[in-house]
Structure 1
Amino acid sequence: MVQQLFVSGLTPISGLSAPEAIVRRLTEAIIAGELKAGDQLPREDELARVLRVAPMTLRNALASLREMGLLVTTRGRYGGTFVASDIGEKLRKAAKSNIMTKQELRSLTDWRRAISGEACYLAAERGNQRDFSNIQSAAEEFSKCSSDVSLRRLADARLHTLIAEASKSADLVRQEIHIQEQLNSIILPLTTPSLVGNTRSMHHDSLVSAIVERDADGARRELIAHVESTFDWCVSLMMSRQTTNN
């Protein structure tokens, strides 16, 4: 299915060189769950028009994403450009070349406390029933992905992005997507099903309940506890990896 809702949320490319910006924009859309495995992108002419780039510039960017294994293009009557069916595993392989240090993870966690904590607070204050329903559905989807680490990571990123969207702050959404992209760098290369564990970072019930019940202070507290648990869990994964390599 062609992602028209994805298109409606796009803005013209600026800042980075156009091909680099397109690659980043589409990668972020995949990480945030706006584009999922098997989703079809709009026609190239439509996508180029929305992004206000030349068709050749868009083709170069799409070619880069195909080389990364994130997109596939098929020909024929039902052809088009699609998000790779094994997108979770592709992102995992890409992340292996960019593993964080413990210090970088600590800095990311502090950033996440500030950005994601405020997003949860405002989501509880400003979110509507549709937002809450989407957040609850995303939390349920996360719980169903326990046997597939890559899909679980994408489901987690989607949940936190939806919470940021419920805050009604475009800047917080952008920052949350960047945070989730950085989390891929530490989580995807390290985790295996046997290392998922039953930590607070693996549950969102209390956080989601606080948001839905419009307990803004409680939502922020739950988020901070959640991200600190994630920090501790990731550090344990990093130590396990170092032990294994030695």
Structure 2
Amino acid sequence: MFQPIGDQGRAALVERRIADAIMGGVLHAGERLPAETDLAQSFGVAPATAREALLALRERGLITTRRGRHGGSFVADTADPTTFALDALAATSRVALRDAATHYATITAAAVELAARRADPSEIALIRHRLERVDPADPIGWRRASDDAQIELSALSQSARLTREQMRLQAELSPLFALADREPERRTATRERFWALLDAVERGDPTTAVDLSRAAVRDAVEWLIDLRESLGAS
């Protein structure tokens, strides 16, 4: 209640950037993170915001804290992107997975619907241009770019609340979505579907944009459920 208004949503953004760096292999297992004050200065946020982001990362098992003279926050030894995502998937029940997907689909659909009504075509062209620069054979690059593009679409909804929630959900579910990116065929299909979504938003067609968005989530969650069962999860 009494947190500074200007820092709302910033902890989630700091968390996402660090998590992306870990999941993308920029930060490696055992690597030490900057101190809270240094992180806060680098990201331009309050120390309390950096502390909140680090706490969230610890709860997700991405970093650990060591005390003492040589202590601090370190990337967890188990923070291999694929291993982490597979373990998280196996530990998530089908009911919880579907529930998370329903929440994600609802927020994403609301955002793209508003974007289709409010966005200028030139703004969509910029998103498309950035995606075109990504190497289709690079699954990590594609995941980063598509996550950013999804958040940019949410921002075009002109709803700060929807955008903040999209950012939070993207950070939570992106590691799972990245599992499918390992397969070139699925990566290609995902890319083509996102292109169609951008086309719908660009021409101001909210119905098609919402339908494409929901279909993409349904397809992703069914694939994840199949993968989860192949891992022997009950």
Q: Output the TM-score relative to the length of structure 1.
A: 0.62
Is the 8 Å Cα contact of residues 147 and 193 (structure 1) preserved in structure 2? no
What secondary structure is seen at the aligned counterpart in 1 of 2:7? coil
Distance 1:197 1:238 in 2: 17
Structure 1 residue 45, shift from structure 2 partner = 8.5
Distance 1:198 1:229 in 2: 13
For the pair 1:52 / 2:20, whether they are aligned, the reply is: no
Question: Does 117-126 or 103-112 show the bigger shift?
Answer: 103-112
Is the 8 Å Cα contact of residues 114 and 157 (structure 2) preserved in structure 1? yes
Q: 1:20-31, aligned counterparts within 5 Å?
A: 22=11, 24-29=12-17
Residue 27 of structure 1 aligns with an amino acid whose one-letter code is: E
Runs of 4+ in 1 over 6 A off after TM superposition: none
Q: Of 180, 186, 191, which residue of structure 2 is paired with 1:197?
A: 186
Distance 1:214 1:145 in 2: 27
Distance 1:31 1:196 in 2: 26
Structure 1 residue 161, shift from structure 2 partner = 0.8
Distance 2:18 2:39 in 1: 21
- Per-residue displacement from partner, 1:113-154 (whole Å, max 9, x unpaired)? 211001111111111244212321344356x34443x33322
- Per-residue displacement from partner, 1:23-52 (whole Å, max 9, x unpaired)? x5422235689xx987xx9x9387279423
1:17 aligns with: none
Mark the CA change 1:132 to 1:95 in structure 2 (over 3 Å): closer, same or farther. same
Q: Of 156, 159, 179, which residue of structure 1 is paired with 2:149?
A: 159
1:209 aligns with: 199
Is the 8 Å Cα contact of residues 81 and 175 (structure 2) preserved in structure 1? no
For the pair 1:114 / 2:109, whether they are aligned, the reply is: no
Is the 8 Å Cα contact of residues 161 and 176 (structure 1) preserved in structure 2? yes
What secondary structure is seen at the aligned counterpart in 2 of 1:236? helix
Residue 47 of structure 1 aligns with an amino acid whose one-letter code is: Q
Structure 1 residue 209, shift from structure 2 partner = 0.4
For the pair 1:171 / 2:166, whether they are aligned, the reply is: no
Q: CA RMSD in A?
A: 4.2
Q: Output the TM-score relative to the length of structure 2.
A: 0.64
Residue 229 of structure 1 aligns with an amino acid whose one-letter code is: D
2:125 aligns with: 133
Is the 8 Å Cα contact of residues 199 and 229 (structure 1) preserved in structure 2? no
Mark the CA change 1:90 to 1:138 in structure 2 (over 3 Å): closer, same or farther. farther
Q: 1:5-20, aligned counterparts within 5 Å?
A: 11-12=6-7
Mark the CA change 1:237 to 1:216 in structure 2 (over 3 Å): closer, same or farther. same
Structure 1 residue 230, shift from structure 2 partner = 1.4
Mark the CA change 1:163 to 1:192 in structure 2 (over 3 Å): closer, same or farther. closer
What secondary structure is seen at the aligned counterpart in 2 of 1:98? helix
Residue 154 of structure 1 aligns with an amino acid whose one-letter code is: R
